Structure 1
């Protein structure tokens, strides 16, 4: 009898699997797998419909026994699933980092947990503990609390403390640090071009601080650290062994196995087996909508079966020892039991608008620009980590005016706002701003990405907002109305 026909072995395999799924209710195939021991699921924006659908889904997930581990990417700022349609109303990490009020960051953590629990998710996939040291970084950027390990460490700990106090688990990410990369692991395989000494000195301290603070889970990064070998951290026993050596005995969760860094190198199935052998406990399989129009109608089932069957085959041929699965499942079940027993705290009261305004800095003088305004959005495509529709940022700032994109002709009159998110180094967006400045020296730049370094100011007055969210866009619109003097 093969592993696929052994109910006990199949339950062990299911106990380390964490899939996404299509639809706004639990599909039949997923219900069967939950009954067969599946660890839980990850929720995405497409799963969350209207209030009634959300309540029904949350109740259905909570109704399963043993208790499930249900995750969601809810970071505030740019990354939200619960508020994806209209944009997050909570501050993001970069905003919290520049305000640097730990009590506020803890309060935001409590609120992130509250909104996650409201849709049935008990694991918040955050905070981001990456130190954003590369201004070209296309995937972390304003999702990081900042550029120094001390700042990131203290805010990551404050955020996870808030998340835990509201009854959810925090999962810090992306170990060993995705902040010094200029490639997005959703689309390619990044490699850290730094020495191990710099990694240890700059990028690991926030994770060590989180471990010392008792974080429940850590998510891995699909990045190569050359001195640890050719495998990305998710699949690398040296990398995950380093995490265990830091004193972490919680759940190691992989970043999604459908990301190109794994999918286009070893494949999701083989990657799942390698991740388990390396020391991972819970395998985040996919967001089945990532392929867009190329996705099959049963993309969720296909991706789940690829990983499930690869692990079953590895058990059959002896590649994967059963005791590796048993240890991983024990950690996942321990987390599920802990969350079942954890009491839910009260939500926090704070004024997000005040935070958004306090996080804004300005280069130059911003003359009053009452609406309507023309917004020229020259931002590139969002990373797949950002699920929300960016249109609300444009529309809020335009305040009834036109929205132009990319290489559109520059209007000759009226209030003109150039919207950017990657101008820290020379590139397409910076050159576009320079071109606009020659034609419209009265234009204003709104930067929702990482601010430019001192001495690298843009040739137009620039408002650095540090997030692309509904909360931030509203604060920007209000400041443009009144203007900002030097």
Structure 2
């Protein structure tokens, strides 16, 4: 597969800095051949993960058999973002919930639980935590994936999650350097820009990454964002911020965010972007998820996506455009990391896991229910006496970062109610007639639960809540987005979850089915720091 004109030594070198995704729940032949030829590893996405844990282990066993020291990475953050629980919704607290709770011991325990789950699946690198400081409430892709809006809060929880992950034998990958929190667009769909000067960036967005370095984080993922303070190139392709990262004392692996994201795909292209990223200082190239759009917007295969990057890098090395020594140093860092993580199926932890906590291997399926109860806030009487329920979803489609259209709220509520799910997000507009018509079709004896993630005053979801409340004042609103400063102004009872996860959904189900005599006073408390 090395291709015409590419010597095997160069091909093997280049494979050592590539990290592709693939289609299916078994390894395709092309992937196994590339592993035999020195491929650095793979990234699991939700479509690779079977609901049968034995199938996931079998997949990992096959990959490790072809190349024992590989990096198998997973986007596993808890809360909204999970690949291992993509079919059910995460049972672990999300970053915003952990930040609101502000108990670093709990955050560290969540990191250990994530590590145990990854190791059980045969993976050894968590593409987490998110160190972005969400200073822009309109941020479409970070939001509740962030620990919060201040550098100090995000810094201490970033460090704690890293400690939990790496004490469990799994390498952490902190993201998205130099900070995706002030963006107003999604790099999966566009090339975001952050117009902050260097002083503001240093004060508000870089401290969590410095905290991660102090916590000996194994790897850092770049952001596909333009920061004019660093120049016109996206950070992934820009030597200026990556040099700053190295100057901060980081000597681990720098990983690109996925090269199939529109921020790269529609500007330089994945192949050219890969060459520029390596030249800028990236060590490991995440090629992306072929079940999304792919570099050719769906008109491609997983192997095609991989080969576009592979051939581009090989050609740049062969021509001398890309210094061979740069690729050799990158491959050496990647190999060192792969050798350091806990061996698959072995009891003896590697150097990253020298403080492995054996208790983490026996983490229960839903061990953080108390933390969820403490962080979910309730305003008003939310219990429903109905046996049938209409779940009106006011949200837009999930982002590619979440990568799942599953609604864990419908699944959880269905265990206690006969649920009819009503997708209303697409009809929210200035004209209220379609929404009014839709709500009028809900039977009077149905309980009504509204699901929203963007409840800013004057926004379409907030306007929709006001409209629905005038028709169904008995409705209950469930918020899964950023916390509201003006929750008391809402016209209906409110459950504030901070995550669209199975853990949150189960708490909502519990609250909705409680007797009217129970008011859950302990849920009325102010979250720490809120």
Place the TM-score, normalised by the shorter chain, in its bin: over 0.9
Query: 5+ unaligned residues in a row in structure 2: which ranges?
Result: 344-349, 428-434, 525-530
Answer whether contact 2:133 2:180 (CA < 8 A) is retained: yes
Q: Which of residues 97, 103, 116 in structure 2 aligns to 1:101?
A: 103
CA distance in 2, matches of 1:3, 1:276: 22
Q: Does 1:403 align with 2:421?
A: yes
2:458 corresponds in structure 1 to 426
The verdict on how the C-alpha distance between 1:111 and 1:4 changes in structure 2, with shifts beyond 3 A counting, is farther
The partner residue of 1:137 within 128, 136, 139 is: 139
Aligned ranges 1:120-199 → 2 under 5 Å: 120-199=122-201
Contact 1:26 1:57 in 2 (8 A): yes
Instruction: Provide closer, same or farther for how the CA distance between residues 28 and 174 of structure 1 changes in structure 2, counting only shifts above 3 A.
Output: same
Deviation (angstroms), 1:310: 0.7
Which of 498, 502, 505 is matched with 1:466 structurally?
Answer: 498
1:380 aligns to what?
396
Return closer, same or farther for 1:455/1:401 CA change in 2, 3 Å cut-off. Answer: closer
Measure how far apart 1:38 and its partner are.
Answer: 0.6
Q: Secondary structure at the match of 1:418?
A: strand
SS class of match (2:288)? coil
Query: 1:106 touches 1:162 (CA, 8 Å); kept in 2?
Result: yes
The residue aligned with 2:383 is 368
**Among 288, 291, 303, which residue is 2:290 paired with?**
288
Cα distance in structure 1, aligned partners of 2:460 and 2:114: 34
Counterpart contact for 2:382–2:494, Cα < 8 Å: no
Contact 2:452–2:479 (8 Å) recurs in 1? yes
Q: CA deviation at 1:366?
A: 2.4
Bigger mean CA deviation after superposition, 374-383 or 313-322: 313-322
Distance 1:69 1:368 in 2: 47
Once superposed, what is the RMSD of the aligned Cα atoms?
A: 2.1
Aligned match of 1:277: 279
Q: CA offset at residue 294 of structure 1?
A: 6.4
Q: What are the ranges of 5 or more consecutive residues in structure 1 without an aligned counterpart?
A: none
136-145 or 338-347, larger mean C-alpha shift: 338-347
Superposed CA offset, 1:160-197 (max 9, x none)? 10100110100000111111112111111111132222
SS of residue in 1 equivalent to 2:220: strand
Aligned in 2, Cα 1:280/1:457: closer, same or farther, shift over 3 Å? farther
Which residue of the other structure, out of 406, 409, 429, is the alignment partner of 1:390?
Answer: 406
The CA distance in 2 between the partners of 1:148 and 1:405, in whole Å, is 34
The change in CA–CA distance for 1:425 and 1:306 in structure 2 (over 3 A counts) is farther
2: distance between equivalents of 1:32 and 1:66? 14
1:300-359 superposed Cα distances (whole Å, 9 cap, x missing partner): 101100001111111222210101101101110110111143445321468321111111
SS in 2 for 1:285: strand
- Which is worse superposed, 88-97 or 384-393? 384-393
More divergent stretch after superposition (312-321 vs 389-398): 389-398
> Which of the numbers 311, 314, 321 marks the counterpart of 1:312?
314
Where 1:366 maps in the other structure, the secondary structure is coil
SS across alignment from 2:129: coil
Q: Distance in 2 between matches of 1:397 and 1:64?
A: 43
Partner residue in 2 for 1:44: 45
Q: Which of 241, 244, 247 is equivalent to 2:243? A: 241
Partner of 1:10: 11
Number of equivalenced pairs: 484
Aligned to 1:416, what secondary structure does the other structure show?
A: strand
User: 1:444 aligns to what?
Assistant: 476
Shift of 1:4: 4.5
1:230: how far off? 1.1
Deviations 1:111-161 (A, max 9, x none): 111111122210000011111111111111111111111111111111110
**Is the 1:282–1:328 Cα contact (8 Å) retained in structure 2?**
yes
Asked whether the equivalents of residues 3 and 313 of structure 1 are also in contact (C-alpha less than 8 Å), the reply is no
Contact 1:444–1:461, Cα closer than 8 Å, also in 2: yes
Query: 2: CA distance between counterparts of 1:267 and 1:312?
Result: 16
- Alignment TM-score, normalising by the size of structure 1: 0.95
2:357 to 345, 359, 364: 345
- Sort the Cα spacing of 1:457 and 1:18 in 2 relative to 1 into closer, same or farther, 3 A: farther
SS of match in other structure, 1:402: strand
Map 1:179-258 onto structure 2 (within 5 A).
179-258=181-260
TM-score, normalised to structure 2, is: 0.87
Deviation at 1:368, TM superposition (A): 2.1
